[in-house]
Amino acid sequence: MFTSITFKEKVLAVVARIPRGTMLTYKQVATKAGSQNASRAVGNVLKENFNLKIPCHRVIHSDGRLGRYNRGGEKRKRELLKAEGVISN
DNA sequence: GCAGTGACTTACA
DNA sequence: TTGTAAGCCACTG
């Protein structure tokens, strides 16, 4: 039920709704999920998420760093973002 | 119910 | 500017 939706589900829903060419920080995702300070929890959710429908590569650190990626690491993540035109290098 | 873990964030030296 | 330390939150065993 939607009433029993967990923080995990919210995080996945938020990330899944990130439009192509847009990046959000872990803090931004956490805020949209309901907890602005749960940036670490966001990482936990994406870490266990292997759904290709979730563009977890569009979630980066508040510092602008890419962070990690469960499908190839920062390098792979940067390639995906570059392919979308989010970053130029 | 408690403790541990982690793809993070912020502050200070 | 860079590195270290502590804090915060949600989920699992």
Mean pLDDT of all residues belonging to chain A: 89
Question: Residue A46 CB closer than 7 angstroms to strand C?
Answer: no
Phi-psi group of A85: left, alpha or beta (phi > 0 → left; psi -120 to 50 → alpha; rest → beta):
left
Pull the structure tokens for residue A80: 């995906």
CA A37 – C1' B8 distance (Å)? 9
Are A24 and A18 in contact by the 8 Å Cβ rule? The answer is yes
CA atoms of A29 and A16, how far apart (whole Å): 11
Question: Residue A22 CB closer than 7 angstroms to strand C?
Answer: no
State residue A2's pLDDT score.
55
Query: Looking at the whole model, is its pTM more than 0.85?
Result: yes
Question: Residue A45 CB closer than 7 angstroms to strand B?
Answer: no
